[in-house]
Chain A
Amino acid sequence: MSGEEVLIQVSKLNYVYPDGTVALRDIDMEIGTREFIAFIGQNGSGKTTLSKCLNGLFAPTSGSVIVEGLDTRSKGIIKKIVTKVGYVFQNPDHQLFNSSVWDEIAYGPRNIGVPENEVEERVREAATVAGIHEEIFQEHPFFLNKGLRQRVAIASILALRPRTIIVDEPTTGQDRKQSVEIMNFLKKLRDEEDHTIIIITHEMPIVVAYAERTVALCEGKILLDGPTREVFSQPNVLAKTFVQPRQITRLGQQLGDLDLPPDVLTVPEMCEIFGETLSR
């Protein structure tokens, strides 16, 4: 954990689905303020289940999740937890169901009993941060393009003013330009608004470019948890998650016998290493 203050404390968390499937085993982790974390691993590795435990959608089968002092096992706690940890669904269409952008963003605050005059203030604030202009407040979310729908989904979470925001596969199905836009927006939320951001993703270039910390899950357990560069420098451990480091990282790892380091994350870093070696 790199943040100054612990926001979420996970201790010996186990989660078993009603059908008996063990989804999480003995998870211990701390999440701090202003972190940017990536959860990686195959489908079924526990990433989404863990995220739903972090925001109280799922109560632990055993162990505990303490969110800013609140135990997610407590009765009737969910309306408080959602104001601490927001969860943005992978497909914004699973989340958006109101008939206007305004009602969509206002839904969360209204649901937790925020008075209507403050609801308006929160909607305007969330829309501004998410870059949603007033002209589309009365439009139906369904008719917006996917990037904009995702912003509306995020704004509806922001309106609950959680400090931690979990975004499930923010870039799936988006092209490169759209991915950069959405990721830069999440980075801004961390850099300028002091949120902690957790992304669940399969896209390693995104992890490397944005996440300072990476948590690799496999069969419900945490296999690796640390600075992104360290996590990707361990290809043999990572292989158990079926996640491959980026191509340029793998190139360095396969040239270890020629003294190339195993933790090169980007093409410019690799160019620099080749440049130094070749100009000698």
Chain B
Amino acid sequence: MLAVSVKNLSWKYEHATEFALKGANLDIEEGSFVAIVGPNEAGKTTLVSAIQGLIPHSFNGVIRGYVEVFGEKVAEKSSLELAQEVGLVFSDPEAQFTAMTVQEELVFGMENIGLTVEEIDERLHWAVEMADIADLLDKSPFDISGGQKQRVNIAAILAMRPPILILDEPTSMLDPLGKDFIFDVLTTLREQVAMTLIVVEHNIEQIAPLADQIALVYDGQVVKVAEPREFFADSGFLSERHVEPPEVTALAHWLREQRYYNGPLPLKMDEALSISRDLLKREVK
């Protein structure tokens, strides 16, 4: 079943002179992990805002085409319904806090939707484990590092158990250690949770190995959607649009062009190591 279907979607923000989206199309299978990449101002945030329903519910503008979530048009759903179906984590980790402690922050949203104490407890425990923040529960959300804040944000949204979770550049404002922690959380979610995950991300090297599909947004359109190895196969198309494959993928690409190698493109280090070892050992003998 499709979790999300974006059909010929165009959107112009009120007062803008140009359309931010110009006939974008994207289908996302339920339970899949989709990475959205592309330059700044290409329309990535606008696209995920339209999937979450912020567009058109909270922004004014001109819309053509439509978005469906689980087969129903977003424009016809209520904001409450959408909030329960689609969770959204922003890049600025400060943006979402209101409570005095991390635990209160996490409980707040659940109380708001009228869950029982038992249900809140169970979800809290689960979300804390997924985001790896057990040691932060008693702290103030304002006294923890940016990377920790972002994990709290993710836990708060997870606790609402939306079947679709969108993260819009969750690592762009974090230092390398903070980024690595977020990618660890994404890896856990991918392996252990049946959610549909949509992640807008510039760090292709870390996101590509996690993704079932990569979608490239460029100039208001989704210009390419493919499984990662296929996505990186046409390196000319990508580099014209300022997208670089992971470095080990680029190396293997060159090895294929030179006919030293004809297997599948590697996406991560361990795959590249085994390909390199095979090639180099054969030569060393």
Contact = CB atoms under 8 A, between A and B. Distances in A.
Interface stretch (A14-22, A98-106, A268-276): A268-276
Given A202-B175, A277-B280, 19 more contacts: A42-B176, A43-B145, A174-B40, A175-B38, A175-B39, A175-B40, A176-B39, A251-B247, A251-B269, A254-B269, A258-B276, A258-B281, A267-B254, A270-B247, A270-B251, A271-B255, A274-B254, A274-B276, A274-B279
Contacts of A270: 247, 251
13 contacts: A146-B40, A172-B173, A247-B248, A248-B248, A251-B247, A251-B272, A254-B273, A255-B273, A255-B280, A258-B276, A270-B247, A274-B280, A278-B260
B244 interface: yes
A75 interface: no
B140 interface: no
Interface of A: 42-43, 145-146, 172-178, 202, 242-244, 246-248, 250-251, 254-255, 258-260, 267, 270-271, 274-275, 277-278, 280
A242 to B, nearest CB: 5
Interface of B: 38-41, 145-146, 172-173, 175-178, 202, 205, 242-244, 246-248, 250-251, 254-255, 258, 260, 269, 272-273, 276-277, 279-281, 283-284
A162 B106 CA distance: 49
Contacts of B272: 251
Contacts of A174: 40
Contacts of A280: 283
A177 B251 contact: no
A248 B172 contact: no
B175 A42 contact: yes
A247 B41 CA distance: 27
A277 B283 contact: yes
B284 to A, nearest CB: 7
A175 B202 contact: yes
B41 to A, nearest CB: 8
B40 A274 contact: no
A248 B246 CA distance: 9
Given A173-B173, A177-B39, A248-B248, A255 B242 contact: no
A43 to B, nearest CB: 4
Contact of B244 (A173, A176, A178): A176
Nearest to A254: B273
B177 to A, nearest CB: 5
Nearest to A241: B176
Given A175-B39, A178-B40, A280-B283, A251 B177 contact: no
